[in-house]
């Protein structure tokens, strides 16, 4: 009964606080009993505050490290301390190594056998090679022309090269790194890293780091450029440009040949013909000047307001022409003189004829009528290619249609300055023989009457020989 009363009093002091202490004093306990109870209360508080130390002290020696850390660890209060949070972040910053790679690298120590052994027997070839090497080394070392410093350097090199321990290689990464650093330092000391030519700089594409270009778009463009792939409308554009160039080259070649023949057929000396061609070129330069070389040669009726070709579609002043005959008549308009043009005139013509009026433009309606069917069909084909190209090309790259009248004017303007040289080349070149010369051919007389071509019939059927003839003969019998 007294023990239970003592425990109740102690519990009241521990949990009651000041009220429990006051109740104990009012009950009238003796001073000795009060002191004993207070000592017990203080001891219980001290034990609760230092529970980790008491738990560690009360453990036996056979308890594991994990159990010790759990017993002596801080009691969980529901919140993570700053030390634990920092430790957790440091552990999560790096991916942990595999269990086999954790810890310092183990350097295997070489096994040294101290037992006495016989030297391995050498083969006769090895003994002969060693004797030859030693003889050559001894002869070099005893060379009278070598100084003492050179001999010492040679001995050092041979020792470093063939001495003991040279062939051994380290078995760890640290050993390899140390060996590499040692050799690099030796090479630096010998001056092998001096005056090393620098390599070419890395060529970087500035568009790769451009934040305004989409990465996917940049990679796709690089792939297209590397594989030489072009969009369909680019291929169609190349086809259109090729067809236009072929048509224009043929048109200019035909007109230059016809114009040179026509002017030459009028008679006169070569200088007069060339002078007449120069006058025609001068008139062409004034009345039909060259236009800017663009692929958009003309526009359809509904697209004449294209800002790109506003200047190109303006009609230039044209000189008088006649459709009755070839326009090479010396008839001169008295009120039309050669004005100043942007392109320079020939110096000789300007000096000899300072104020002579220009002739009419050189045209040949008969040639145009003869070539009209071909030219119309060619322009129709070019317009068909242009139409198919415009259907797949973007708006900024679309091209207008071709015009026969504009192509002819451009042809006349381009060919006129070349007529004089074409007439000269036509007159200077040697005449072509109209009769074929028969020379000596190898072979006999009968071979001349033989045909040049021979027809050979190749068949996979078996040949008809005497065996087949004999079998057919007996079958019929």
Residues whose CB falls within 8 Å of the CB of residue 291, separated by 6 or more in sequence, listed in order: 312, 410, 413
> Domain of 13?
2-72
Residue 472: φ, ψ to 5°:
-65, -35
106 within domain boundaries: no
Q: Could you read off the pLDDT of 201-242 as tens digits, one per residue?
A: 778 888 888 888 888 888 888 888 888 787 888 889 999 999
Q: How many CB atoms lie within 10 A of CB 276?
A: 20
Q: What is the pLDDT of residue 404?
A: 93
Q: Could you read off the pLDDT of 155-181 as tens digits, one per residue?
A: 777 777 666 555 566 677 888 888 888
Among residues 56, 72, 88, the one where a domain terminates is 72
Whole-angstrom Cα distance, residue 305 to residue 159? 93
Q: What is the pLDDT of residue 381?
A: 95
405 within domain boundaries: yes
Q: Residue 416's closest CA among 322, 297, 276, 320?
A: 276
300 within domain boundaries: yes
447 within domain boundaries: no
Q: What is the pLDDT of residue 319?
A: 44
Q: How many residues can be counted in the chain? A: 477
Q: Could you read off the pLDDT of 114-135 as tens digits, one per residue?
A: 888 888 888 887 887 778 777 7
Q: What is the mean pLDDT of the chain?
A: 75
Q: Could you read off the pLDDT of 28-82 as tens digits, one per residue?
A: 566 677 777 778 777 878 877 777 777 777 777 777 777 777 777 777 788 888 8
For residue 301, name the pLDDT band (cuts at 50, 70, 90): very low
Q: Is the pLDDT confidence value at 95 over 80?
A: yes
Give the chain's domain count. 2
Q: What is the pLDDT of residue 433?
A: 64
Q: Is the pLDDT confidence value at 333 over 50?
A: no
178 within domain boundaries: no
98 within domain boundaries: no
| Reported pTM | 0.40
Q: Does residue 15 or residue 291 have the better pLDDT?
A: 291
Among residues 18, 39, 72, the one where a domain terminates is 72
346 within domain boundaries: yes
Instruction: Please classify residue 402 by burial: count the beta carbons closer than 10 Å to its beta carbon, then call 0-12 exposed, 13-18 middle and 19+ buried.
Output: buried
For residue 343, name the pLDDT band (cuts at 50, 70, 90): very low
403 within domain boundaries: yes
Among residues 38, 72, 106, the one where a domain terminates is 72
């Amino acid at each position: 009964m007294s023990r239970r009363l003592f425990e109740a009093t102690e519990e009241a002091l521990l949990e009651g606080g000041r009220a429990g202490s006051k109740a104990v004093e009012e009950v009238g306990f003796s001073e000795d009993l009060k002191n004993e109870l207070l000592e017990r209360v203080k001891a219980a508080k001290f034990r609760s505050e230092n529970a980790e130390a008491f738990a560690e002290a009360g453990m036996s020696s056979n308890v594991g490290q994990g159990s010790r850390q759990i017993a002596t660890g801080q009691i969980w209060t529901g919140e993570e301390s700053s030390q634990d949070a920092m430790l957790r972040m440091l552990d999560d910053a790096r991916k942990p190594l595999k269990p086999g790679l954790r810890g310092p690298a183990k350097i295997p120590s070489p096994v040294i056998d101290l037992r006495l052994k016989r030297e391995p027997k050498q083969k006769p070839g090895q003994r002969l090679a060693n004797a030859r090497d030693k003889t050559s080394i001894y002869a070099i070392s005893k060379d009278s022309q070598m100084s003492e410093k050179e001999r010492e350097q040679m001995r050092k090199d041979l020792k470093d090269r063939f001495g003991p321990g040279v062939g051994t290689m380290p078995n760890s990464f640290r050993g390899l790194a140390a060996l590499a650093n040692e050799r690099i330092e030796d090479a630096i000391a010998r001056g092998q890293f001096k005056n090393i030519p620098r390599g070419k700089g890395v060529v970087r594409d500035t568009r790769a780091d451009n934040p305004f270009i989409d990465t996917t778009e940049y990679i796709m463009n690089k792939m297209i450029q590397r594989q030489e792939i072009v969009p369909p409308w680019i291929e169609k554009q190349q086809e259109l440009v090729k067809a236009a160039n072929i048509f224009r080259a043929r048109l200019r070649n035909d007109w230059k040949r016809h114009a040179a023949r026509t002017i030459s057929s009028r008679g006169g000396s070569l200088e007069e013909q060339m002078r007449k061609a120069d006058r025609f070129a001068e008139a062409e330069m004034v009345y039909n000047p060259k236009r800017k070389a663009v692929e958009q040669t003309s526009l359809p009726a509904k697209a004449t307001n294209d800002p790109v070709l506003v200047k190109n579609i303006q009609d230039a002043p044209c000189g008088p022409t006649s459709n009755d005959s070839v326009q090479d008549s010396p008839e001169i308009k008295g009120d039309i003189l050669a004005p100043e043009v942007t392109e320079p005139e020939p110096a000789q013509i300007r000096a000899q004829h300072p104020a002579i009026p220009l002739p009419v433009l050189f045209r040949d309606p008969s040639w145009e009528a003869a070539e009209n069917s071909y030219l119309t069909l060619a322009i129709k084909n070019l317009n068909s290619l242009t139409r198919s190209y415009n259907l797949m090309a973007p708006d900024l790259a679309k091209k207008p249609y071709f015009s026969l009248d504009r192509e002819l004017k451009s042809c006349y303007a381009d060919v006129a300055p070349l007529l004089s040289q074409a007439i000269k080349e036509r007159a200077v070149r040697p005449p072509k023989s109209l009769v074929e010369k028969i020379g000596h051919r190898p072979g006999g007389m009968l071979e001349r009457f033989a045909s040049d071509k021979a027809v050979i019939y190749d068949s996979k059927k078996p040949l008809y020989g005497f065996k087949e003839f004999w079998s057919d003969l007996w079958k019929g019998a």
